[in-house]
Copies of this chain bind each other. A is one copy, B any other.
Amino acid sequence: MVDIFHRVGIKAPISKVYEALSTIEGIAGWWTKETTGVSAPGGHIEVLFSSPSGERLGGMSMEVMALALDEAVQWRFRSGPEEWVGTDALFRLSQDGDYTIVRFGHRNWREAVEFTEHCSTKWATFMLSLKDLVEKGQGKPAPDDIWIGNWH
């Protein structure tokens, strides 16, 4: 099994970061504007991705496995890219001085393929989008996300 991992420090109260990760409105502010569903344990969230010109690029749905107030959010991908199905996204929060630390893992990829590498870089841009959303009030969710190459 292979994991993607990232770490960012966000200069904001932990409750603000948890809110951005645990609510539909929050997720829509940093990952993709096209976020719908129910963010509660056992609930399903659907995320869709489009280009700035409106072309549908893809999407996935995930089951909310755990919500621990101000501590952690865990999702399991149930549909979407074949490589994603069955993998987990885990966000763990902690406080370090003025910063809320987000330790992120996209865990249990069957193997590291080129698409994994792409997703690793893309997740970094979304973690920085989360940081901008919480610190400045404005993230870069799709379709305004940073394009990192020919795979968007």
- Which A residues contact B (CB, under 8 angstroms)? 2-10, 96-99, 101, 103-105, 112, 114, 116-118, 120-121, 124-125, 127-128, 131, 146, 148-151
**Contact in complex: B116, A5 (CB < 8 Å):** yes
Given the complex, which residues of B lie within 8 Å of A150, measured CB to CB?
Answer: 9, 96-99, 101
Given the complex, which residues of B lie within 8 Å of A103, measured CB to CB?
Answer: 114, 117
**Contact in complex: B128, A148 (CB < 8 Å):** yes
Complex CA gap A103/B9 in Å reads: 26
> Closest CB-CB distance, A132 to chain B, in whole Å?
11
**Contact in complex: B9, A148 (CB < 8 Å):** yes
Given A124-B121, A125-B124: A148 touches B8 (CB 8 Å cut-off) = yes
Given A103-B117, A121-B124, A124-B125: A112 touches B5 (CB 8 Å cut-off) = yes
Given the complex, which residues of B lie within 8 Å of A101, measured CB to CB?
Answer: 149-150
Q: Which residue of B lies closest to A101 (CB)?
A: B149
> Closest CB-CB distance, A10 to chain B, in whole Å?
7
**Contact in complex: A6, B128 (CB < 8 Å):** no
Given A103-B114, A114-B103, A128-B146: A121 touches B7 (CB 8 Å cut-off) = yes
Given the complex, which residues of B lie within 8 Å of A99, measured CB to CB?
Answer: 149-150
Q: Could you name 24 residue pairs across A and B whose Cβ atoms are closer than 8 Å?
A: A5-B112, A6-B117, A6-B120, A6-B124, A7-B118, A7-B120, A7-B121, A7-B148, A7-B149, A7-B151, A8-B121, A9-B148, A99-B149, A101-B149, A103-B114, A103-B117, A105-B117, A120-B120, A121-B124, A121-B127, A121-B128, A125-B128, A128-B146, A131-B149
